[in-house]
């Protein structure tokens, strides 16, 4: 089995974007002049369980996300994908820290014109980082599928050419 001796250093640098996402989000929230505390789920959906279960549920969800990231990156390492997973996890942890310390997430940006069921839509940097990371991961997977199909087609054509000559 092929071993990669620089993998620990690689993992360390892959974690940095997530740490940066966590700290920058916390700084933005701290510096905000107008803050709304959101004790609900994403997009202000009500919780269906009490506070002790919420923390456990969030911990399990982040642990599952971390395991999924490690599993996928061990199968096929890519810096971009590692960075996106790192940012996604760092941003999620930032919002979880808000919930643990403050009882709710600090939303600091009002989305103009976005009102649903009488609720004003507010968000924060972590919310945007999570959404953009998920979109990025989705695009990476699409690119990998397209690349795989194109490579198979290329190999098929090369095989046909060699059979003819």
| Alpha carbons 99 and 106: distance in angstroms, whole number | 9
Domain residues for the domain of 113 are: 16-164
Beta strands in the chain (DSSP E): 36-38, 105-107, 109-116, 119-123
pLDDT tens, position by position, 136-150: 999 999 998 899 888
* Number of domains within the chain: 1
Number of separate helices (H) and strands (E) present in the chain: 4, 4
| Alpha carbons 159 and 165: distance in angstroms, whole number | 10
In a domain, 82, yes or no: yes
pLDDT tens, position by position, 37-94: 888 776 555 666 666 777 788 888 889 988 988 888 887 788 889 999 999 999 999 9
Output the pTM of the full model.
Answer: 0.77
In a domain, 21, yes or no: yes
């Amino acid at each position: 089995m092929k071993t990669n001796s620089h993998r620990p250093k690689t993992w360390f640098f892959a974690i940095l974007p997530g740490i940066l996402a966590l700290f920058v989000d916390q700084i933005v929230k701290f510096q905000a002049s107008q803050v709304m505390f959101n004790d609900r789920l994403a997009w202000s959906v009500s919780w269906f369980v009490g506070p002790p279960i919420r923390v456990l549920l969030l911990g399990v969800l982040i642990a599952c996300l971390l395991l999924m990231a490690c599993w996928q990156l061990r199968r096929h390492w890519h810096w971009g994908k590692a960075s996106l997973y790192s940012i996604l996890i760092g941003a999620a942890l930032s919002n979880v820290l808000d919930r643990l310390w403050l009882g709710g997430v600090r939303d600091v940006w009002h989305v103009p014109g976005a009102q649903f069921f009488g609720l004003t839509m507010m968000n924060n940097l972590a919310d945007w980082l999570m959404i953009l990371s998920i979109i990025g991961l989705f695009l990476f997977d699409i690119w990998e599928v397209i690349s795989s199909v194109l490579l198979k087609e290329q190999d098929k054509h090369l095989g046909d050419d060699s059979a003819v000559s």
